[in-house]
Amino acid sequence: MIDTFQAYLSSTELSGGTIAMIGIGLGSMLFVFGLSGAMAGKNPVLRRMSGQQAGRRRATVAENGILRHANNDPTGFFKALIPNDTKERTDVQRQLSMAGLTGPHAVRNYYLLRMFLGMVLPFALLTLVWVSRTGTFVLPPFIDDRISGWSQLRVLQILVFSVAAGFYGPAIWLRSRASDRRREIEEHFPNALDLIQISVEAGLGFDAAMIRVGNELENTAPAISQELLTAQREIQAGRGRDRALLDMAARTGVEEVASFANVVLQSMQFGTSVSETLTTYASEMRVTRELRAQEKANKLPVHMSAVMASLMLPALLLLTLGPVVIRYIRFFAG
């Protein structure tokens, strides 16, 4: 058996360094999966099945992350990783909510990810440089040839860049994802509002209409579907409708959603028809979308003028002044 395995290794031309690198990669993968599983916590379904009493239902819902405020003060070991400034944590929590990351430990996991990447990337770089310089393992030729030519200054520069990329990369990605998600909600919310209006006019209640529209838009508009269903889950868990709708508007960061929440709450507060309110607001939103499209169309010539001037002006000057310059060069050369 051993001879057969050695013959197989020799036939596949796998060196000891390659096998060691494969083992290191598998070990790193298992470590990452184990760390994510440990940070995920216990399954909420298992917590509900563990024999909790009916009188502790509200506490159970809070522990599952539905009603608990996610911006809690750090305790224990996390004080050294998470900022104590409430304003800074609130800003990060708002960005995470806009990006769709609304878990109970989203802020903690975000800072842990930044710290982890800021340490892992430079450590991996130093490990590769050490392996290439000492020849402990056999690296792939395209990696070894590139690293072996680095000077100490080059290694230091790349090390600083890797630390900055690992620490600030998640922040840049978070802002980009929040911006893309906000744009997606802005594009799909008018259609969702039309569907909610039609559902209410067909006889459904407001909450049932939001649930129905959220389920229908799960594939075409997952961002707005997630927000509608999250708001309804909070209402079913015991949070007031006004607080749930205003939190939905804060999570999205979209002006139209905030206006929608205020309009619906005012209609319910003063006892007016929700259907008529949604009809009026939907018509106003259509006019707003048309005006916004016209505004972008009117701004287009202004944006194009700088590009046209930078591209056409040099060519125009070359065509008009080029022959004159050539003529003067020939006259003085002769």
Contact 282, 193 (CB under 8 A): yes
Least Cα distance to 162 among 128, 123, 113, 132 occurs for: 123
CA distance 272 to 281: 14
With bands split at pLDDT 50, 70 and 90, how would you rate the model's confidence at 9?
very low
Residue 65 tokens, joined = 């992350």
Q: List Cβ<8 Å contacts ≥24 apart for 91-95.
A: 94/250, 94/253, 95/174, 95/175, 95/178
CA distances from 36 to 68, 298, 328 (A): 22, 50, 74
Tell me the backbone φ, ψ of residue 105, rounded to 5 degrees. -120, 30
Percent of the chain with pLDDT over 70: 74
Contact 124, 147 (CB under 8 A): no
* Per-residue pLDDT, 318: 85
Q: List Cβ<8 Å contacts ≥24 apart for 293-301.
A: none
* Per-residue pLDDT, 58: 44
CA distances from 121 to 125, 127, 142, 170, 265 (A): 6, 10, 19, 13, 49
Helices (H) and strands (E) in the chain, counts: 13, 0
Residue-wise pLDDT for 10-33, tens only, equals 554 445 556 656 666 666 666 655
Query: What SS3 class is residue 101?
Result: coil
Query: Crossing angle for the helix pair 106-134 and 141-148, nearest 10 degrees?
Result: 80
With bands split at pLDDT 50, 70 and 90, how would you rate the model's confidence at 304?
confident
CA distance 99 to 175: 8
| C-alpha 217 chain-centroid distance | 20
With bands split at pLDDT 50, 70 and 90, how would you rate the model's confidence at 325?
confident
Provide CB contacts within 8 A for 6, sequence distance 6+.
Answer: none
Residues recorded for the chain: 334
Provide CB contacts within 8 A for 275, sequence distance 6+.
Answer: 197, 200, 201
* Per-residue pLDDT, 75: 64
- Full-model pTM: 0.62
Least Cα distance to 248 among 258, 259, 262 occurs for: 258
With bands split at pLDDT 50, 70 and 90, how would you rate the model's confidence at 162?
confident
More confident residue, 8 or 102: 102
- What integer is the mean pLDDT of 243-247? 88
- What integer is the mean pLDDT of 205-233? 89
- pLDDT tops 50 at residue 294: yes
With bands split at pLDDT 50, 70 and 90, how would you rate the model's confidence at 284?
confident
* Per-residue pLDDT, 53: 45
Percent of the chain with pLDDT over 90: 1
Q: How far apart are the first and last CA of the chain?
A: 91
- What integer is the mean pLDDT of 104-117? 81
* Per-residue pLDDT, 93: 79
Query: What SS3 class is residue 286?
Result: helix
- Arithmetic mean of pLDDT over the chain: 76
Least Cα distance to 60 among 69, 48, 71 occurs for: 48
Residue-wise pLDDT for 33-82, tens only, equals 555 555 554 555 555 555 444 444 444 444 444 545 455 566 666 666 66
